[in-house]
Amino acid sequence: MLNNFLLKRLSEIESGGLLRTLNTIQSSPASTIRINGKSFINFSSNNYLNLAGNKEINEAAMNAVEKYGFAGTSSRLICGNLSIHEKLEAELAAFKNKQASLVFPSGYQANVGVISALMSNEKNSCIIMDKLNHASLWDGAKLSSSRIFVYEHCDMNSLEKSLKRAHKYEIKLTIAESVFSMDGDFTPLRDFVELCQKYGAVSMLDEAHSTGVFGEEGKGLAEVFNVSNKIDITVGTLSKAFAVQGGFVCGSRQLINFLISKSRAFIYTTSVSPAICAAALKSLEIVKRSDAQRSFLLKTAEYLKNKLNKLGLNTLNTQSQIIPVITGSIENTEKTSSYLREKGIYIPAIKPSTVPKEQSRIRISLTSGHVARDVEKLIDSISKIV
């Protein structure tokens, strides 16, 4: 019975062009990958500083395995809280100029764990979301019992309208990404914090795609706009520029104490492996000294964006290493992605519900490991299909 039901659902999903399938990568997921024995330039990873497979990080992880073994063995609240977890959290808090931080097994879990803990059982609370916030932020909001207001993407007039509509709520949590994962554009952070302060809202910023890439030592976009001290809750991930795994939240000591007591995504899961903590500590050290890689990456991104725009392609308002090329329909997006695959370039199609309807796209994700030859090949290949 279940299988018949699932077959029917799968065929509906497939006929809508929305069936998701897995590609098998036969190499490490670096800037060149192998699929079915063939080599591709990979423009789809979040390995922004090209640290995946870094020898120093690998070595730190292996040494930690020797010292602690791999397993966390239980929740942080039982016997899974090792000194290396606390060391990583102290370093991450210092990096983000906050009092304290808490590590989660993934960035997804951090977002869900923070929002659902803060906003559950709050009869008088509301959440104010950018329309294009990441699924993990939406899922956290949906797990809360709060009323949700949505503002137009990166539109501060629309945010202000929502804040006015939300005036009667005692606790208002406003949530945005600093660099948006699928559009590569920025929340206007100065206006964002000013509005949150004006209307007495708590500010939460997801810096998953800006940490490591923007700001002094890669501290993120809030640091670039000089507003880090005005953001109440900062979330980051260890899985993108850090090329490790895990997520973290930074904020006041009280916020972290509260999450330790109330965040189900933190409490009811086994602690992050000590090997991951050691790898993340080493990665953080490298990220901080990677100014040359950051500047190379952002210059390449600017160059590529300008070239694509000259070809008449719509790259939305990207200002980052994430460059969307809007291909519109699902069919056209699949066609573009397959054509690039034939040319030895790997950029999967991004379709609804990850992005809005008719906004399907290929999402070019640059890393500091891409050399000029890779980028020129991409431009040349795309120019033949526009």
Ligand X SMILES: Cc1ncc(COP(=O)(O)O)c(C=O)c1O
- Residues forming contacts to ligand X in the complex (CB under 6 A) are 106-108, 111, 134, 136, 177, 181, 206, 208-209, 237, 239, 247
Of residues 209 and 382, the one with the C-beta less far from ligand X: 209
Residues in the chain: 386
Nearer to ligand X, 177 or 185 (CB): 177
For residue 232, give the 3-state DSSP assignment.
Answer: coil
Q: Exposed/middle/buried for 330, CB within 10 Å: 0-12, 13-18, 19+?
A: middle
Q: For ligand X, give the closer residue by CB, 195 or 208.
A: 208
The least CB distance from residue 154 to ligand X, in Å, is 14
Q: Shortest gap between Cβ of 249 and ligand X (angstroms)?
A: 11
Task: Give the residue at shortest CB distance from ligand X.
Answer: 107
- Whole-number minimum distance, CB 103 to ligand X, in Å? 11
| Tokens 């790259």 sit on residue | 315
- Minimum CB distance to ligand X, residue 107 (Å): 2
- Long-range CB pairs of 217-226, under 8 A, 24+ apart, other chains included: 217/95, 217/287, 217/288, 217/289, 217/291, 218/49, 218/287, 218/288, 218/290, 218/294, 219/95, 219/96, 219/97, 220/96, 220/178, 221/178, 221/179, 221/186, 221/189, 222/178, 222/189, 223/97, 225/189, 225/190
Q: Name the minimum Å distance from CB 170 to ligand X.
A: 27
Query: Residue 149 or 180: which CB sits closer to ligand X?
Result: 180
Smaller CB separation from ligand X, 189 or 382 = 189
3-class SS at 369?
Answer: coil
Nearer to ligand X, 57 or 382 (CB): 57
State how far the Cα of 386 lies from the Cα of 376, in Å rounded to an integer: 16
CB of 383 to ligand X, least distance (A): 29
Q: Are 382 and 337 in contact (CB under 8 A)?
A: no
Closer residue to ligand X, CB minimum distance, 31 or 46? 46
Closest approach of ligand X to the CB of residue 135, in Å:
8
Is residue 63 within 8 Å of residue 278, measured between CB atoms?
yes
Strands 38-42 and 322-328, sheet pairing: unpaired
Signed CA dihedral, 318, 323, 326, 330: sign only: negative
